[in-house]
Structure 1
């Protein structure tokens, strides 16, 4: 009888991990995560993991303790003689700092990759990286999943005269994958960012007049880029506007911006749990648990997971 993988959850998103375990018919692994009075993190696995395949599910969105907790859980698993430790990171934090685009700054995505590797991870599974080249920052196997199958089923037959919009040039490949799957045309918004978290829309490349629009992106943070795109699209004659964004960071007054924007519906995944204080009727959550669960079980069985790489390779 095949030994099952052991799946453990950090504290960043335990609900998602439970859904993954339910999909696979497995019990959630038992671990004790505590904080000392000064906030220092302490981890202990409460079951024998010697010689076992261990999967640690933990997104690394702020606060930084989420990343630190992942590193400590990986280290504890290696020191408990786990056969293989896979870091399942639904949202890979610090991915926006992926290059040295100005003097005297850190390439924090590379630093994060080094930390995860040195902690002892044997493999990484993540979803919709902000910058695809981050895969090359790792010297261990790296599986990059795409959330497009989660969202495209929603819009497959929902809208006519549909165009898919990338809110910036960096997301063009992702948007092309959506457009191909939805048999829709592709539109690009060329934007300029004068300072951090401030986006200024410049030019719309493509026709959106009298079209229904689906804006796709890997993340939504302050919603500045997203709402600027909505305003520009409306100004150019777009009809109903929808959104499909994988990681809902939604910091600052992002919810207020979305509530006031001319968007019908915004779909996100549960890679990051929505804050309890969020009050909006425009945001709908779709779980990524099945996609991640399939990646976990196929990795455990040493099967190909290339069929989960739902993106246009051209």
Structure 2
């Protein structure tokens, strides 16, 4: 899905699969200054549509800012064995469109920022975290922030919360299953815990962590993630009592299919 200045641009297909772009909608949505395209990645077709829209706007020499809700291929940020560095190629494609500025909500790693030109990364999970602290009555002197792995600790450890816990997991890379997870840090009994990370798929890592935290005496456990995939609804989190609630944005999912998963921020909307 692509918006121009908060207006959704329609892309239809001819019978042979070629794209038909709604030029009238673009004409009504554009202006001569401060144009912004918002990309909500849903499939690779969105990248083709982005190219058509940007090149069309280039005909009028307009400066365009690109805002990306979830950076596509951000998990493919390195080469391991015969894997393909697809993030690099997507970033090269976006750079070729020569946007005035690129805004990315919660990049998975520093690699995205290193590969994109004129980029600003928005720490969406941090913003969500502070909002959720108020919602759940988080006491920074008594309650805890939990980073599920070293990557999350690197991203969010700069918050310098008084009470922090870190998970170190061992995973079977052939099956993808977690073999063990060790929680580093001391935990007072019956205190709230907010798990914070950038992305949730089925939520297996967070469920595993919640089990260990409960063994240590944790009270209510909440999960804050900027990006939440549809697969979370088919995982164990919705029907389990381990994690009380998940807070996220609509960077990937458009609406919640379960009361336990709450979208508290809609990206790409000009307020």
1:35 to 4, 10, 13: 13
Structure 1 unaligned spans of 5+: 1-8, 22-27, 295-314
Give me the whole-angstrom Cα distance separating, in 2, the residues matched to 1:131 and 1:187.
21
**Rounded Cα–Cα distance in structure 2 between residues aligned with 1:243 and 1:257:** 10
Residue pair 2:11, 2:19 contacting (<8 A) in 1 also: yes
Using structure 1 for the length normalisation, give the TM-score.
0.73
Q: CA deviation at 1:158?
A: 0.2
Name the residue aligned to 1:142: 119
8 A contact 1:122–1:141 mirrored in 2: yes
SS at match of 1:286: strand
Match of 1:70 among 40, 50, 64: 50
- Kept after mapping to 2: 8 A contact 1:59/1:93: no
- Residue 260 of structure 1: SS of its match in structure 2? coil
Equivalenced residues, count:
262
Tell me the equivalent position of 2:68: 89
Determine the structure 2 residue equivalent to 1:151.
129
Measure how far apart 1:200 and its partner are. 3.9
Question: What CA RMSD, in Å, does the superposition of the two structures yield over aligned residues?
Answer: 2.8
The answer to whether residue 151 in structure 2 is matched with residue 170 in structure 1 is yes
Range moving further from structure 2, 80-89 or 185-194:
80-89
Q: Look up the match of 1:242.
A: 222
- Greater relative contact order (Cα < 8 A, sep 6+): 1
1:172-225 per-position Cα deviation (integer Å, ceiling 9, x unaligned): 1333245x3xx4411110112323754444211112341321000101012111
Q: Please name the residue that 1:282 is paired with.
A: 260
TM-score with structure 2 setting the length: 0.84
Shift, 1:52, TM fit:
4.1
Q: Is the 8 A contact 1:127 1:145 kept in 2?
A: yes
Q: Within 5 Å, which residues of 2 pair with 1:4-83? A: 10=2, 28-29=6-7, 31-46=9-24, 47=27, 49=30, 52-60=33-41, 62-78=42-58, 80-83=59-62
